[in-house]
A and B are shown apart, each in its own frame.
Chain A
Amino acid sequence: MPSIPLHVNKLSPASISATASSNPLPPLLHTPSGLGLLELQGTIHFPTVPTSTSSTAPANTSLQLDASTLVGKLVFPLYNPELRGEDDTSWMKRVYMYVGENQRLTGECKKLGKPFGLMQRKERGREDVQMGGIEEEGSGEEELEIVEVVRYKIVFSSRPEPVGGEVQS
């Protein structure tokens, strides 16, 4: 088997600041590309989305790709950089995910013992822009790339608990 090239195509750490404004998570969880990891026990079920591919014109596909279902909210109840400073990490011990109105998952933020590399099939179009137009001609071969290294994840390992409309303090 011929070897499959595996490129490392991370954005430089400097670009964190560029994505920071649009990344609502605490800065510790930021990565240059903005990609992060979230783990939960079980699966999220939601109504199947009506697929309108047959009637969708090609022009609409980008909209279609962008479609998503709002599941809930992530809350970092102990995160308070104004009070505890930016370097404080005690907030990592508690993260809530509210699902819909009445369910809450309790979790935490964990530093990964071994960071994860996010690997995906290489997008050729992007490569051309980034690498200054180095031509790789006629190769239909598969190529992979590591686009990010993630060092933290948010884990929800407990069952969801019911919460009322008025949340207890």
Chain B
Amino acid sequence: MATQQSDGGVRFSVAHDLQQYRLLELPAELLELIDAANPPLLSIKSAAPGAPSAKPAYAVLCTPNKTYQLRQVQTSNSLFVAQPVLEAHGNEEIPAPTTRAVASCTATLELHPADTPPDAFLEEVLPVYDIVDKEVDATGNGKSKAVVLADIPLSEGQCEQAWKELMAFEFAGSSYRPSANTLVQVWKSIHDAALAEGIKLDQQFLTDTLLSALDDEGYPPSLIVAVLTGLATAEQDPAGSWSCLDRSRAVHFVGTTLLEAKRGGADYLTAEFLDTWREHVPDAWQRDAELAAIEGLYELPTSTTVAIRGGIASTTKTAAATAKPGSSSSRKWHEKFGRARQR
């Protein structure tokens, strides 16, 4: 032992000029990404300062499609980052292998998967684009999509997905999300135009043909494209000049959007709803327009009426599956109060 103390062992020194290192606690998933041969570019984002968000703004770490909240954890211990060097001390001539502390960390960063649904952030910041009696009711935010998404503390993949699901669009220098009411009108116009032009929506068609047919309606073309992209089949290239809608997704979208547009309104008869729904889809799709297609997204307040259940006008089943239980229940209460008052 004595020899080990004097001869063996590894010399340990502390550098005078300590460097700055931050320690990131890596969850298994992230570790896998970082250990890969070609690790993707990660990024650190945070919500815009002063954002009207109820939650305190965390910085987040984003992979291409996942988001982790960063939480700083203080440690009372001295945590050194050490590096092997060759050092000579005192009057020594020959430098000896030494482990040198080159940084001292007082805190580590924990990573927690962020669980806030992506669309909630976008809903909060995007102004609603509403069309009432052919009059546009919308106040622009003067921000491009890129500017808006830069302030969303989420990964790019999640931002894009939420943007697509909300059918958000850029128009005249601002970004908007359409109201359910607007979406119903746009969809109706698309449906009518497709009928008139003989376009089969669930087969490949030129986006421009439909756009020019809708020219007179006065919708921002970007809004129509947003709807078409939001309902496109998974393999459809969103950048291409062709469109092709996913039939079940479109039927689902029409049903939920019709209900969403009636949210908080007068009683909606189930039979009337089903009729309208079928009217709004191509003949070939009509047999799909059943309540079963929007399972879990509606409720039947009475035996003859129907209403939207909480959650947004989801266009995809994945969004429906992850619909936030918190806000849905609160909205339900809101509706219940509304109905109680009407009686």
Contacts and interface: CB of A to CB of B under 8 A. Distances in A.
A68 B14 CA distance: 5
Contacts of A120: 19-22
A38 B42 CA distance: 27
A24 B10 contact: yes
Contacts of B83: 33-36
15 contacts: A3-B43, A4-B45, A37-B23, A38-B82, A38-B99, A40-B78, A41-B77, A44-B78, A49-B16, A70-B13, A74-B11, A116-B26, A146-B34, A149-B34, A149-B35
A73 to B, nearest CB: 4
Nearest to B47: A1
A36 B23 contact: no
Contacts of A121: 20
Given A37-B80, A114-B25, A120-B20, A8 B15 contact: no
A28 interface: no
Contacts of B108: 116
Given A10-B39, A117-B34, 19 more contacts: A5-B42, A6-B43, A6-B61, A7-B41, A24-B97, A34-B83, A34-B84, A35-B102, A36-B82, A38-B12, A38-B80, A73-B10, A73-B12, A74-B11, A75-B4, A114-B25, A116-B25, A119-B23, A120-B22
B284 interface: no
Contacts, number: 188
Nearest to A30: B84
A1 B150 contact: yes
A155 to B, nearest CB: 8
Interface string A8-42: 10100000000100111100000001111111111
B302 interface: no
B183 interface: no
B89 A70 contact: yes
B9 A74 contact: yes
B248 interface: no
Q: Which of A65, A70, A75 has the most CB of B within 10 A?
A: A70
A33 B102 CA distance: 13
A74 B5 contact: no
A69 B82 contact: no
Interface in B299-339: none
A129 interface: no
Nearest to A99: B12
Contacts of B4: 75, 77
B267 to A, nearest CB: 46
Interface string B28-47: 10010011000111111111
B49 interface: yes
A158 B87 CA distance: 28
Given A19-B84, A115-B31, A116-B108, A69 B13 contact: yes
A115 B30 CA distance: 10
B146 to A, nearest CB: 10
B174 interface: no
Interface string B64-107: 00000000000111111111111101000000011111100000
B55 to A, nearest CB: 16
B226 to A, nearest CB: 24
A83 interface: no
Contacts of B27: 114
A64 interface: yes
Q: Which of B41, B86, B101, B102 has the most CB of A within 10 A?
A: B101
A56 B34 CA distance: 41
A58 interface: no
Contacts of A134: none
Contacts of B17: 64-65, 67
Contacts of A119: 21-24, 109
B151 interface: yes
Contacts of A73: 5, 9-12
A68 B16 contact: yes
Contacts of B20: 120-121
A169 interface: yes
Contacts of A149: 26, 31, 34-35
